[in-house]
Structure 1
């Protein structure tokens, strides 16, 4: 069994996921670049390896149960455990960026398949491996748009962003985070949600005001939490956010 800590990041072939993988690799971890696309995932892993990091590609489509099971089996065979899981893969389909009354159930379902159901599928598949680690960390990449407190405050910056599918999927993800944290209370596995902030990525057509380096900077600290760190929280880096 490898002595190096093992980290799996979903959607790691680009954006915040790729930068998170790079940062964790710089921390001395073996980073598993989870990607739906083999070509893009292998390219991302190669780029990290060329930079001197220990990176390997893992084919992983979070919406495909067989793909998730195969990834878990591969990690078990190669490493026997998982120290960090970053559920980063997320979508904001263009067809879901409409007024709530115009949203189709199909577009809502597509959003939830990745942002909610995919997180549950991956977490459940990886949990036996996380339990084998001395101090495992699960980080769910959420959004400030998942904060019902902020969305319901007319004076808040995010009040105007009334995106039923995306916002509710991230609120649901926060509920998922809390549920796992409660189940795993008293174990060595800590589970938290984080908002990386409004970061320029493909998800928002690069309209965000933060760089991916800045966004990943709010994800990585939760992957590196010490033993006395929190579990079951919603954070912006290490600063608590309202549910």
Structure 2
């Protein structure tokens, strides 16, 4: 049974039970969107959705593990049943492999000694999971008068920034898992944008910045609300907005 207004935009955020994803859901709900909380843990997903509703927003949770095709297809079915379409897809779910985005102690990410199973797991979530979710949601996005897709990447995805020996990433250990997976995600973003441009579906990547989350043991200097605001700006683009871009709070991020 459909319970969203035909005039209210619907946004699905993966990995939305905590951190940046949850803040994105809260901010979009505050802007008047109905938000769908995608979470691997149904209890945590429902808790996040309940918090959005308690704050006056419209929200419901779907169990969604981006590496599990069955949950992805079921989530698409739930969105179709409840809303009939999808206006915004935010591919936020991701893992670091080592547990830290800026791996000062993450020696397990160094290319010469990395565990290949860990690399595969990171790519399974951060790259293949995005393909799986996006493709499952495309039929619903095509029903929207103004669909948008936002992929949550990282400044660590930038080859220009990470290859500069005097740049901001020079002090960090090399990464064979997290950073390359996000580089692949930005490349994938461009390819989706190229394919979907003719359909009027903008697809962009965003680097939220060094945000205080579990993934960096809460060492980030930006709040989750600040990191989420970059994502939200791309999620509310008008029909004349960019596509195939890579953006941060400072503007375009170099490839």
The answer to whether TM tops 0.5 is yes
1:201 touches 1:212 (CA, 8 Å); kept in 2? yes
**What TM-score comes out, normalization by structure 1 length?**
0.97
Once residues 186 and 206 of structure 1 are traced to their aligned partners in structure 2, the CA distance between those partners, rounded to angstroms, is 41
Residue 206 (structure 1) aligned to one of 210, 214, 218: 218
String of CA shifts for 1:60-103, please: whole Å, max 9, x gaps. Answer: 01010110011111111211110000000010122793221111
Shift of 1:205: 1.2
Once residues 88 and 127 of structure 2 are traced to their aligned partners in structure 1, the CA distance between those partners, rounded to angstroms, is 19
- Count how many residue pairs are aligned between Structure 1 and Structure 2: 243
| Match in the other structure for 1:128 | 139
| Match in the other structure for 1:9 | 13
**What TM-score comes out, normalization by structure 2 length?**
0.92
| Match in the other structure for 2:116 | 105
Once residues 57 and 132 of structure 1 are traced to their aligned partners in structure 2, the CA distance between those partners, rounded to angstroms, is 21
Residue pairs, 1:59-138, within 5 angstroms:
59-94=63-98, 97=106, 98=108, 99-138=110-149
* 2:75 is aligned with 1:44: no
Does the residue aligned with 2:149 lie in a helix, a strand or coil?
Answer: strand
Residue 224 (structure 1) aligned to one of 236, 240, 244: 236
Q: Which runs of 5+ in 1 are unaligned?
A: none
Q: Which runs of 5+ in 2 are unaligned?
A: 101-105
Shift of 1:185: 1.1
CA RMSD of aligned residues (A): 1.3
1:153 touches 1:159 (CA, 8 Å); kept in 2? yes
Residue 179 (structure 2) aligned to one of 143, 160, 167: 167
Once residues 206 and 163 of structure 1 are traced to their aligned partners in structure 2, the CA distance between those partners, rounded to angstroms, is 20
| Match in the other structure for 1:190 | 202
1:221 touches 1:237 (CA, 8 Å); kept in 2? no
